[in-house]
Structure 1
Amino acid sequence: MGTDTDRHFIERMRWDEVARHIGNGAAAILPIGAAAKQHGFHLPLNTDRIQAEWLASQLAGRFDALIWPTLSYGHYPAFVAYAGSSSLSSATFEAVVHEIAQGILADGCRKLFVLDTGISTLAPVERALARLDAGKVMHLRIHDGPRYRQAAERLAEQNHGSHADELETSLMLALAPHLVEMARAEPSPAIGQEAPGPLTPLDVNSPNYSRSGSFGDPTLATLAKGEILLAAMLDDLREQVAAFVTEAAAAQPRSGMTRSVSR
């Protein structure tokens, strides 16, 4: 990431700088992206974190927001059979998200965007944020926007997938091509269902067997697909954030009007 986006990450700032930005009305972004989660033979374990921090930096640059340190441990039960992959229980992860989000709002941030790159993390994050002020918190699900879904449907050639697959590998070719080893990309067998149970690299008789850990066909990934998918994803996120900011501003009482009524 370039120096222009570095200024939004609070871990690289002093506390009084953070306080000043919050006092000036800066929103907060909490990225959620695993750093210890297998992504096949061809992608690094921090693939989700790379995506989360890049997307957060793009949003922060547009909306002048502060980025909290990435929550890089989460609820990822489907991958624990692969070396290096860690997963918190759903309850623990939910509690962690809630306490961090609650603390960010307590610091005085008027709005908080939780940028979620996972799938199994979605439900716990929803539950965690449901206990906070709905007018201040928004859950950004990076794969749920209409532009991204349409682009994915149009571009995908694989017949199944959702992890370290054609789409995610294409995204990484656009974001960090030097980290993608396409020569090692290996498709997983067609498991026959959209959402398999925990994958296994050892039990060849399991319906959830995947030697590499991918679920889909990453060999079909291309840079061109990744650029289209990434642009669509970012447009969706920008639109969601802009709408939430506008709605929040509209919901606030106008100070001038309040004073005139009170006379």
Structure 2
Amino acid sequence: MAADTDRHFIERLTWDEVARRIHDGAPAILPIGAAAKQHGFHLPLNTDRLQAEWLAARIAGPVDALIWPTLTYGHYPAFVEYAGSGSLSAATFENLVHEVAAAILGGGCRKLLVLNTGISTLAPVDRALARFDAIRVKHVWTHGGPRYPRVAKELAQQRHGSHADELETSLMLALAPHLVDMARAEASPAVTEDTPGPLTPSDQNSPNYSRSGSYGDPTLATPAKGEMLLAAMLYDLNEHVAAFVAKSAEPRSAVTKGVL
């Protein structure tokens, strides 16, 4: 991570520096990105974390936000058959997100944006944040819209996919190409269901069989596609962040709707 982003990550600051920034009104960003989740033969297990922190660093700049340590364990039940992949129960993950968010707001931050890279994590995060004032807390999915889905649809050549696929691999080729081993990229078999169940590397008779763990065709990925996808994603995210930060916050003492 570039040195000029260090001032945004609280783990690289002293506590009194963080206190001053909070006092001055710096919004908070809480990234969510797995560090122990398979991403095929060609991408590392911390792919989601890398994306979450890369994106957080870039959306923090325009609003001078503080970035909290990434939540690297989450609810990822679709990947547990693959070595190294971990998953919390939905209830445990929901409680984790709620407690961390409550601590951030309770520490004086007036605004908190939760930056989510996952899919199975969306519903638990929504439930965890529903107990807070919506003026102070916002949940943003990195693959939300409107620009990113449109660009993704225009660029995608694969017939199916959503994990370690053409699009995600293209993103990684753009932001961390040294970590991508395209020689090992392997497409998953075609599936008949739009949304598969938990993937499996062992049951070849399952409709969700994927030897590599990919769901889609990462062999079609290119850095050029990744650059276009990242540009659309950042445009969407920066628009969401700017609008959220611009809204008037409640007084600092009103942390939640009566729940901490």
Q: What secondary structure is seen at the aligned counterpart in 2 of 1:30?
A: strand
- Give matches, 1:214-253, under 5 Å: 214-248=214-248
For residues 114-140 of structure 1, what are the alpha-carbon distances to aligned partners after superposition, in whole Å with 9 as ceiling and x for unaligned?
000000000000000001111100001
Larger Rg: 1
Q: How do residues 59-70 of structure 1 correspond to structure 2 at under 5 angstroms?
A: 59-70=59-70
* Structure 2 partner of 1:76: 76
What do you get for the CA RMSD once the two structures are aligned?
1.0
AA matched with 2:177:
P
Q: How does 1:70-219 map to 2 (within 5 A)?
A: 70-219=70-219
Residue 244 (structure 1) shift = 1.1
Distance (whole Å) between structure 2 residues aligned to residue 67 and residue 6 of structure 1: 10
1:67 CA displacement:
0.3
2:55 corresponds to: 55
Tell me the distance in 1 between the aligned counterparts of 2:239 and 2:189. Answer: 37
Q: Secondary structure at the match of 2:248?
A: helix
Shift of residue 145, structure 1, vs aligned partner? 1.3
Shift of residue 248, structure 1, vs aligned partner? 2.7
1:39 aligns with 2:39: yes
Whole-angstrom CA distance in 2 between matches of 1:145 and 1:63: 20
Give a deviation string over 1:164-223, Cα, whole Å, max 9, x none.
000000000000000000000000011112211000000101111000000000000000
* Deviations, residues 29-68 of structure 1 (Å, cap 9, x unaligned): 0000000000000000000000000000001111100000
Counterpart amino acid of 2:185? A
Aligned to 1:15: 15
What letter matches 1:205 in structure 2? N
Between the aligned partners of 2:86 and 2:106, the Cα distance in structure 1 is 29
Greater RCO (Cα-Cα under 8 Å, separation 6 or more): 2
For structure 2, list consecutive stretches of 5 or more residues without a partner in the other structure. Answer: 252-260
Query: Which letter does structure 1 place at the counterpart of 2:180?
Result: V
What percent identity do the matched residue pairs reach?
A: 75
TM-score, normalised by the number of residues in structure 1? 0.94
Tell me which residue corresponds to 1:2.
2
CA distance in 2, matches of 1:192, 1:125: 29
